[in-house]
Amino acid sequence: MGLLSNPAMMEQMSSMMKNPEIQKMMNDPNILNNVANMMNNNTSSPKEENKSPLEPLKEENKYDVETTVTLINLKNDLYNNKNGIIESFNKETNRYNVLLDDPLNKVIAIKEENIKLLE
């Protein structure tokens, strides 16, 4: 179950958002920039150009974003023969980021050789 579909988690988040200190932080642009940089694994300052190694797929990639695929020949049998959707390609690691179907609902980095089109 995802965090946003968990009623207890949503109640806790709702309660937390009513806290005046949290509201003050959420309106502070410096904090918002820092959080955004952390979410992008960006250690640069907010004023530096924000470049992420995750890029939209280009023509040289075999699979496009939103392509439905099956994972194959992985060392970890847990993910073998699982279906997912290509989210992006990481040029630095040369791997596709694949969002696995429910119930896993997890993004994992996969080499091209371990992906095949879902038939």
Domain limits, the chain? 3-39, 57-117
pLDDT value of residue 55: 56
Q: Measure the CA–CA gap between 65 and 58, rounded to whole angstroms.
A: 9
User: Digits of tens for pLDDT over the chain (119 positions)?
Assistant: 455 667 877 777 777 777 777 777 667 666 666 666 666 655 454 444 455 555 555 557 888 889 999 999 999 888 999 999 999 999 899 999 999 987 878 999 999 999 999 87
Other CB atoms within 10 A of residue 91 CB: 12
pLDDT value of residue 47: 46
pLDDT value of residue 45: 47
Do residues 57 and 89 touch, judged by C-beta distance below 8 A?
yes
Q: Name the fold adopted by 57-117.
A: SH3 type barrels. (2.30.30)
Q: Whole-model pTM?
A: 0.51
